Structure 1
């Protein structure tokens, strides 16, 4: 009889362990990142390497995508729970009848530059000079295409006045310039520093600093953020709060450590074979990171103004900005 009872207990324990493992697997949170090695999207990998996800009891898997728009599509298809991409997608999607919300803001500015190929830089003095030329973006429908189109529209250009070519980021973007497939391209660090160091491209519009962004766009342009489907957020408030705590802790780490300290926590292959250049680019990028993950005042209005400036799907439409982001979770972080 004891053998029977013992066997039953063992089997029951095994079944509980099996179901427990399945439950744990079901709780995995997949976060898609629009280019993991870009400095604008540094917080996710840094958070993972610092162990902050584990500290919150989160089972997070990070996956990299070439462009934020690719990650956005995966999110809407239900292939992921969250995306680290530009906040402007929240507004663009609301205009299309889909609701996502930013729950942590990483970047107060885009952290990017429009760069002109060096051999044509003398002919291209501003974004109005790209008429008849090709503009390189990370992907069609990406934030890089949003901002590129807006900057060109300020000079009276229509989207039919120039071509847009998706060239990705990093090495593929550099190749598009060297192969002369584009005259102007959107780049972020550390690619920006690599292009400037090699002399392959020159800065046309600087959206990597607060002053440069305000001059070009008229205000702060909250960019890199963690956004989720609003329905997921409403049903997973505990998980959303844990993600916010982990990421705000990372932002605090960024603002209390040197660029060298931060670089030491990142994968070696992110350096592109030049750690000194990576540290230099990171040092220049530190001011763009939010100190607390909160949406900056006036930021959503600036983004809506930019998108309305060229996008017929948004212009004239009522957009409820209060549903495109929330500070609910970051406000809980001490």
Structure 2
């Protein structure tokens, strides 16, 4: 068989490469220009599994791949992270979905645009050292309860649990302890009598017998038992005006988070250990991985906020906070799924 001259094969290869390059140009041009590429994100307790998708997307370079230059500031709790956004020192908050409802009740319009967690991952535990004879929630009257920060989702969960026993927030003292080593120290040293917090902290205390868990939303089943339905948790949210003025930037952030969620679906424990900073492990790899296995199902699969979950959140908040009137909240304005749906289609999440 006669082989074509070398020059022809080279010419064909060059032509093919040119054709591929030409095909690629429209897609590059079609990528929308970011209205703002440098973004400041505030988060309350970044080392918690509650924000694992944010850490994964950051560590694996998924934000950079979307053309974003992300600066993440870590605060003691979600309420403080929110203050940074309200005060203008951050653009976006990585925090609890229910803050969008609380803010609307104060005539401040914020909108969540991609979900990180489909369960709150918060556990409420009693100190076995300080309250060895604990029998019921009424025993907590007058006691000190540790939360990540006053006003944060850990505080809201505690308020909800206490309200079911007829206790008001003013019947206890809430103390901010963060979500990492400080929380462990606060409970172990006897500074607090009970704690509402996230993992890995709660699993570490639970496995060592230092807390008795009385309410748990680290699983989908536990979340339904506590809230009566699905409950959206960690998400990226921002002032509604920011979302409306920066749609391409919000799309890029949603893409990065959903890319991270897709990676987490197949990641093994070893992959997680290699990806997160060493300080997140709190000095105990085995317990960190045990914590991850406990909360794994609570991580969102595709970044989409469920409509029924948003309604559950509103109902839960209105049940213990008289300043939130369900009939006055436009729940549809607290979130949008348009960005997450596009990201889900792109990454097949």
When normalised by structure 2's length, the TM-score is 0.85
1:123/1:129 contact within 8 Å kept: no
2:257 corresponding residue in structure 1: 247
State yes or no: 1:233 paired with 2:281. no
Describe the SS at the equivalent of 1:298.
helix
CA-to-aligned-CA distance 1:88-144 (integer Å, 9 cap, x gap): 000000000101111011111110100110124543344343122222112121111
Describe the SS at the equivalent of 1:83.
strand
1:105/1:225 contact within 8 Å kept: yes
State yes or no: 1:280 paired with 2:293. no
Pick which of 89-98 and 169-178 moved more: 169-178
2:76/2:177 contact within 8 Å kept: no
Match of 2:214 among 201, 204, 213: 204
Distance of 1:283 and 1:140 partners within structure 2: 28
How many pairs does the alignment contain?
Answer: 311
Describe the SS at the equivalent of 1:180.
coil
State yes or no: 1:303 paired with 2:307. no
Match of 1:108 among 118, 129, 133: 118
Match of 2:233 among 208, 212, 223: 223
1:58/1:242 contact within 8 Å kept: yes
2:200/2:291 contact within 8 Å kept: yes
Distance of 1:253 and 1:328 partners within structure 2: 21
Alpha-carbon distance, 1:316 to partner = 5.5
Alpha-carbon distance, 1:60 to partner = 0.7
CA-to-aligned-CA distance 1:6-64 (integer Å, 9 cap, x gap): xxxxxxxxxxxxxxxxxx9x731011111111011111121111111111111111111
Equivalence map 1:1-334=2 (5 Å): 27-315=37-325, 318-333=328-343, 334=345
Distance of 1:242 and 1:85 partners within structure 2: 18
Alpha-carbon distance, 1:173 to partner = 1.5
CA-to-aligned-CA distance 1:239-263 (integer Å, 9 cap, x gap): 0011111110110111122122122
Pick which of 260-269 and 309-318 moved more: 309-318
Question: Which ranges of structure 1 fall in alignment gaps of 5 or more residues?
Answer: 1-23
CA gap 1:95/1:165 in 2 versus in 1, 3 angstroms: same
Describe the SS at the equivalent of 1:329.
helix
CA gap 1:131/1:158 in 2 versus in 1, 3 angstroms: same
Alpha-carbon distance, 1:166 to partner = 2.0
Describe the SS at the equivalent of 2:192.
coil
Larger Rg: 2
Distance of 2:300 and 2:326 partners within structure 1: 31
1:222/1:299 contact within 8 Å kept: yes
Pick which of 292-301 and 66-75 moved more: 292-301
CA gap 1:125/1:299 in 2 versus in 1, 3 angstroms: farther
Pick which of 287-296 and 132-141 moved more: 132-141
2:315/2:326 contact within 8 Å kept: no
Distance of 2:118 and 2:267 partners within structure 1: 19
